[in-house]
Each structure stands twice: as structure tokens, then as C-alpha cells.
Amino acid sequence: MEKGVRNYLVVTGGYWAFTVTDGAIRMLVVLYFHLLGYSPFEVAMLFLFYEIFGIVTNLVGGWLGARIGLNLTMHIGMAMQVVALLMLTVPDAWLSVAYVMAAQALSGIAKDLNKMSAKASVKTLAGSGGESNLFKWVAVLTGSKNALKGAGFFVGAALLEWIGFRGALAILAGVLFTVLILTAILLPSGVGKMKSKPKFTQVFSNRPEINWLAAARFFLFGSRDAWFVVGLPVFLYSVLGWDFTAVGAFLAIWVIGYGIVQASAPRLVRRSHHGQGPGGGTARLWAFVLALFPAGIALALQQGWDATVVLIVGLVLFGIVFAINSAVHSYLILAYSDFDKVSMNVGFYYMANAGGRLAGTVLSGWAYQTQGLEGCLWWSAGFVLAAALLSFKLPEVSTGQKEPAVV
């Protein structure tokens, strides 16, 4: 196995392990604090620092990875996640909103350091296969990550049901610490490290296509979290009467399926006869298609259709189309980036991604509390339309870039 491929697989394996804990801790916090009597909006506020610090981390993380190496940024993120998990094992009396928000801030920093480390590695590994090969690598990485995040939802809910909140957190922290040690042993120093030291001002992109893509990404991920983060799990538990394990299993199956579709996106999205990946027109088309689904689910619920059937069918269809949208975006940020700035461009792009999640998370709690799940869905549809309109500024992919070197 080539050295570059081996290093990439180790980084990705560490990212996968981290992703399971990330999905689990989110489900644990949503369900446990709802059980403690927190309102939907208060539950959403617990994730406020998670998303805010994710924005900051993405802005700084790409620059940091280029300076110190992607392996170090990954290990720093893992260590911070272990601390965040252990912080929540204190007695209930200590779990004030401010304390939980601080723990979530650490978790947000940790998650985005890991995401940046894995995603930035793909560009250098695409090799001579060109843009078509790059689309496949990005889709497989992102899709498998989301499938594992879905597994994390189930793990979190199931552990909460079986051994309780604190036992679940302790197990997750122990497993992740073990993975941290193993990856530290397997990875050499300096993976992804640039020979020259980039200035921090280089983090901000001066290429309009990257800025427009980041703006579209903001609204795309805001559209998902506007109903998925708080409104949907609370609705399933408190209105439909599902237990914790059922809620976690359902959302886990959805995210796993979403990840599988995302990994299969290169076969689902028609590419040009030149073997190129998708471009701006592809992003526009799939965004307009996506907007139909949250609006359709909201209309069906307002008409009094069976909520269980509507949500299951609607979520499946929404997940398929959203996964394709996300895979196209994840490909475009790498395709639009120069090889010597990919780490920083990915960080800038995921800063917008985190901003969209922040807006969607806050909106999910507020809209569910004031307008119900239907209100969350209408906001979601509006955000998707905004992403579609911004995508009119996205160009097709240029073929003039030189091939990446495998590192």
C-alpha cells in the first residue's frame, strides 16, 4: 500500500471513530435534557457554542493544519472530545446551561478539527484520476462518515436506555481515547503539512466561486438542521410516543441511508461525456428538487395525514436528495480549490457549513416551540430555495488545474 494511501486511511479511520462519538453525544444531550424538563428552545441553546466554536475552528483549522500537520489537528480534536464527554459525567446539579454549553463548545471545536483533517486529505490523494476520481473519493469519505454518524445516533440512544447518561459518556470517552493512542502510533508526523508557512489572512478566499459555494452551503445545512436537530426527535418522542431507542434507531437508519446515498452520488449524478464531475448547474438543479420535500411534508402534516407515514416516507425522500446535494457541494469545494490552498479553502467552506448548522439549530428549537414541526419544515424549504438561488453564481469546473501530488 502506498504511503500516502496508508496515511489517509489511518486519518479517515480516526475520523470515523470520532464521528460515532459525535452522533452519540448529540443524541444523548437532546434526549436526556428533554427528559430533565428543558424546553425545545433550551435544548437548542445547549448546542449554541457547539456551532459557534465550530465556525471559529473551521476558520482557523485549515490554516493550523497547513502549519502543523493534519495528524496533529486530528489528535488535538480527539483529546478535546474525550474531555467534553467526561465533563458531562458530573452530577445533574452541576449540569447548568452554561456548563453544558461549555462542554459542547469543546465538542464543536473537536469535531471540526477532525472533519477538516479528513476532508483536506482527499485532494492530494485523487492522483491522476482527475476530477471524476476526486468526486468518487469525496463521496465515499463523506457518505461513510454520515453513515457512521447515524450509527452514533443509535449508539447514544441505546446506551442512554441501557446504562444511563453517565455510563454512556464514560464508554464513549474510553473508546475514543484508545483510538487516539492507536492513530498517534500509526501516523508519522507532518501529514498534510505545507512546506511554506501560510499567513492567517490567506484563510479568507479571494475566489468568488468559493465564496458563493460557501454561502449556498450555509443555507443547505441550515435547511436540514432547522427541523432535524431538535424538532424531529422531540416530536417523535413527545407527540408520537416513541421511546429513546426507537427515536435513536430511526434517526440512525436515516443518517446511515443518507450516507450510503452520498457515497453512491457519482453513480446517481450524470456526469459529462468528458468524465468530469458535476458543476454549478448540477448544484442548482438538485437544490430546487430538494425544496419540494420539506414543503410537501409540511403540507401533508397540515392536511392531517398520518404523521408516522408522512415522516418516514418524507424523510427517506428528503434524505436521498439532500445527500446528493451535499456530495456535489463537497466535491465542488475541492474542485474549485488550488492544491496549495485546499486545506484553508476547506476550512473556510466548513466555517459556512457550521454557520448554517448554528442558524438551523437555533431555528429548530424556536420554530418548533412557536410553530410546531410544520413551521420547522417551512423554514427548511425557504433555506433550500436560498441555496438554490445562490447556486446560480456557481461556475462549471475548470479542467486547467495540475494534478495533485500524493503525500
Q: What is the pLDDT of residues 15-32, one digit of tens each?
A: 888 888 888 988 888 888
pLDDT over threshold 50, residue 230: yes
pLDDT over threshold 80, residue 76: yes
What pLDDT sits at residue 341? 61
Domains and CATH numbers, the chain: 3-393 (1.20.1250.20)
Of 62-71, 121-130, 244-253, 378-387, which range is least confident?
Answer: 121-130
Other C-beta atoms closer than 10 Å to the C-beta of 129 total 14
Per cent of the chain over pLDDT 90 is: 25
pLDDT over threshold 60, residue 50: yes
In SS3 terms, 219-237 reads as: HHHHHHHHHHCCHHHHHHH
pLDDT tens-digit profile of 200-226? 555 555 678 888 999 999 999 999 999
Over the Cα atoms of the chain, what is R_g?
20
pLDDT over threshold 50, residue 6: yes
Residue 257: CA atoms inside 13 Å, Cβ hemisphere, count? Answer: 16
Greater pLDDT, 62 or 192 = 62
pLDDT over threshold 50, residue 405: no
Greater pLDDT, 216 or 198 = 216
Q: Is the pTM of this model over 0.85?
A: no
